[in-house]
Amino acid sequence: MGPADHASGRRERRWEVPGWLRRTAFVGVAVLVAMQLVPYGWRHPNPPVTDGAAWPSARAAGLARAACYDCHSNETDWPLYSYIAPMSWLVRSDVESGRDELNFSSWDDHDSEADDAADAIADGSMPPRQYTLLHPDASLDAAEEQELIDALLSMDD
């Protein structure tokens, strides 16, 4: 404030952060830091591909790679957020359960899971919305969904 401001009676206003907000922010940061010490989700194994799925066309293979392979293969691309808890826990859990359900990298063990995968795409549960929000290239339009469904059904024989 200059001398003219004092003479006119104007006061400078300072915004102060309330104490409860500072404490809450400190506790929140401390909890996030502590979560990084939990070892689950740190390692991101991509086991070797033992028997890759034999897609009927390159287009179907490309659609599957974009929409399915991050969770349903041993060829997962691990994004930066998959190394930071609590997202690392969620991503690792999703990949592990996805690989358990259907793994395009060990197709010799698929036991007619392709039919189940086709049903999941048809009913809209795959790919999951939370995945397509973070990976817009995994969103399939109706024609792409049908193409992937047809490919999966042809592979289930």
Confidence (pLDDT) at 151: 96
Six token digits for residue 137? 């290239």
Confidence (pLDDT) at 15: 84
51 — phi, psi (to 5°)? -160, 90
Q: How far apart are CA 110 and CA 89, in angstroms?
A: 26
**pLDDT values of the chain reduced to their tens digit, one per residue, 157 residues:** 555 555 555 677 788 888 898 889 888 888 887 877 776 666 777 999 999 999 999 999 999 999 999 999 999 999 888 888 888 888 999 999 999 999 999 988 766 688 999 999 999 999 999 899 999 999 999 999 999 999 999 987 6
- Reported pTM: 0.75
Q: How far apart are CA 127 and CA 33, in angstroms?
A: 31
Confidence (pLDDT) at 22: 86
Residues sharing a CB contact under 8 Å with residue 104, sequence separation 6 or more, in sequence order = 52, 53, 64, 68, 69, 72, 73
3-state secondary structure 37-53: CCCCCCCCCCCCCCECC
